């Protein structure tokens, strides 16, 4: 097939038509460097630097017949990348004419550096559900009065280590139920959820409320930014990662079940997922392990991609390049997968949980179903 050059108006139309709930898929790859991409990118663009395209294209865009758009810095890199993808078997390849400079011409499009829909979604949740909040000055007063209050920071561990509210504990978004009982053993403790600003704190707080934990819960207005704006100092440094205790894991699974009952999270068998991954010519499927990168490296379901759940929810386009794709989530016991699926469904994604968690298999001795999944997902 021929490689097409498209005008920015066409890409704008495709972005409007495709995505969640539309039944129309679109993959958008930005081939610039990580540094250039960080300065701004088309909404929903996934960064895959050109030098890594041949190696990683299949991971980011698993279905080769999907409509695929490449963007660059107007320097011809996307056209070269299109030839690479053509050689790899992709059949619907489109190059944005003029790249990012054309996309941003006349200031009509802008270059958002954040997942704007994620921010809008979290604020809508706050408004619809009435998620309680607390200002930094109020929290400081509680600290000074030695009140029973704890701050749970839902950002990544690296972000937490760079600066967090004093006394806070780390629980990346997908782990907030998984770790809750270890971090908050007393049902009378006031729980304040924080992030760098608003979105992850709102979702974290509302997760605890929807899961019906017994504690009073609120989010910290503007997170660490609000704390420093109140002329208060952040602490730095992290703590070694440890598995949740058996009691905490059990509590988390029980509370996650409340979320599942509330939203009707679906499951899919390994045979079904295998068919989706290899035999479905109409839909793209991503098999995502939403545990930590360290846990994934130690043991994971064959064919899965590492996608820690908190970041997957906050900025899904960084991992899932195909808008409107089907997502299948897996973890070890279901708690983190259910927590993540609960919110992804509300964002409009088609989400399923993979039956049989990682912990149910013998490391190095896969079951017949896992051998089948390995064979079917092998390139």
pLDDT at 359: 40
The per-residue DSSP string of 34-52 comes to: HHHHHT---TT-EE--GGG
pLDDT at 126: 95
Angle at 259 between CA 268 and CA 115, to 5 degrees: 85
Q: Return the half-sphere exposure (C-beta side, CA atoms, 13 A cut-off) of residue 221.
A: 11
Domain identity same for 94 and 165: no
3-state secondary structure of 26: strand
Single pTM value for the model: 0.86
Domain identity same for 336 and 231: no
pLDDT at 348: 84
Domain identity same for 250 and 269: no
Domain identity same for 143 and 230: yes
CB atoms within 10 A of CB 15: 18
Residue with tokens 């009073």: 216
Domain identity same for 247 and 299: no
pLDDT at 116: 52
Q: pLDDT (tens digit, 0 to 9) for every residue of the chain, 379 residues total?
A: 679 999 999 998 898 888 666 778 999 999 999 888 877 766 678 999 999 999 999 999 999 999 999 999 999 999 999 999 999 999 999 999 999 888 888 765 554 444 455 678 899 999 999 999 999 999 999 999 999 999 999 999 999 999 999 999 999 999 999 999 999 999 999 999 999 988 899 999 999 999 999 999 999 999 999 999 999 999 999 988 888 999 999 999 999 999 999 888 899 999 999 999 988 989 999 999 999 999 999 999 988 999 998 888 877 778 899 988 999 999 988 999 999 999 999 888 899 999 864 444 323 333 333 333 433 333 3
Domain identity same for 361 and 269: yes
Q: Which two tokens stand for residue 292?
A: 């930590």
The per-residue DSSP string of 331-371 comes to: -SSSHHHHHHHHHHHHTT-EEEEESS-GGGSBTTB--HHHH
| CA dist., res. 78 & res. 278, Å (int) | 27
CATH number at residue 191: 3.40.250.10
Final residue before a domain boundary, out of 48, 83, 107: 107
Secondary structure percentages of the chain, helix, strand, coil, to 5:
45, 15, 40
Domain identity same for 45 and 70: yes
3-state secondary structure of 69: strand
- In degrees and rounded to multiples of 5, residue 264 shows phi and psi of 70, 50
Domain identity same for 283 and 176: no
Domain identity same for 49 and 22: yes
Final residue before a domain boundary, out of 85, 107, 129: 107
- The parent domain of residue 120 ranges over 116-255
Single out the residue of 281, 284, 278 nearest to residue 327, CA to CA: 284
pLDDT at 139: 98
Domain count, the chain: 3
Domain identity same for 125 and 233: yes
The per-residue DSSP string of 296-316 comes to: HHH---TT-EE--HHHHHHSG
Domain identity same for 357 and 315: yes
Q: Indicate the angle between helix axes 368-377 and 270-279, nearest 10 degrees.
A: 10
Q: Residue 219 in contact with residue 131, Cβ under 8 Å?
A: yes
Final residue before a domain boundary, out of 236, 255, 274: 255
pLDDT at 41: 64
pLDDT at 190: 98
Domain identity same for 241 and 268: no
| CA dist., res. 373 & res. 370, Å (int) | 5
């Amino acid at each position: 097939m021929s490689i097409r050059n498209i005008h920015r108006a066409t890409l704008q139309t495709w972005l409007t038509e495709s995505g969640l709930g539309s039944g129309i898929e679109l993959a958008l790859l930005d081939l610039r460097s990580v540094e250039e991409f960080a300065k701004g990118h088309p909404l929903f663009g996934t960064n895959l630097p050109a030098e890594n395209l041949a190696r990683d294209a299949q991971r980011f865009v698993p279905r080769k017949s999907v409509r695929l758009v490449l963007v660059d810095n107007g320097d011809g890199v996307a056209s070269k990348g299109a030839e690479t993808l053509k050689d790899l078997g992709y059949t619907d390849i489109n190059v944005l004419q003029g790249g990012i400079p054309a996309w941003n011409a006349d200031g009509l499009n802008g270059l958002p550096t954040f997942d704007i829909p994620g921010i809008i979604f979290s604020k809508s949740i706050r408004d619809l559900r009435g998620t309680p909040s607390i200002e930094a000055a109020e929290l400081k007063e509680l600290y000074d009065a030695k009140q029973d209050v704890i701050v749970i920071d839902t950002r990544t561990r690296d972000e937490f280590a760079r600066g967090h509210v004093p006394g806070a504990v780390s629980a990346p978004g997908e782990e907030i139920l998984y770790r809750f009982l270890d971090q908050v053993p007393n049902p009378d403790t006031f729980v304040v959820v924080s992030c760098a600003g608003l979105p992850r704190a709102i979702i974290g707080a509302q997760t605890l409320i929807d899961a019906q934990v017994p504690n009073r819960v609120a989010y910290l207005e503007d997170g660490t930014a609000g704390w420093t704006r109140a002329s208060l100092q952040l602490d730095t440094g992290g703590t070694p990662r440890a598995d949740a205790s058996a009691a905490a894991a059990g509590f988390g699974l029980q509370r996650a079940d409340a979320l599942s009952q509330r939203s009707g999270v679906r499951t899919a068998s390994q045979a079904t997922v295998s068919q989706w991954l290899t035999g479905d010519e109409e839909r793209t499927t991503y098999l995502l392990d939403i545990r930590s990168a360290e846990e994934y490296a130690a043991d994971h379901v064959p064919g899965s991609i590492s996608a820690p759940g908190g970041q997957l929810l906050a900025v899904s386009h960084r991992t899932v390049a195909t808008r409107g794709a089907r997502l299948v989530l897996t973890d070890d016991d279901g708690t983190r997968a259910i927590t993540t699926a609960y919110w992804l469904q509300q964002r409009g994604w088609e989400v399923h949980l993979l039956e049989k968690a990682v912990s149910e298999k013998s490391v190095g001795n896969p079951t017949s179903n896992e051998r089948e999944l390995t064979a079917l997902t092998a390139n």
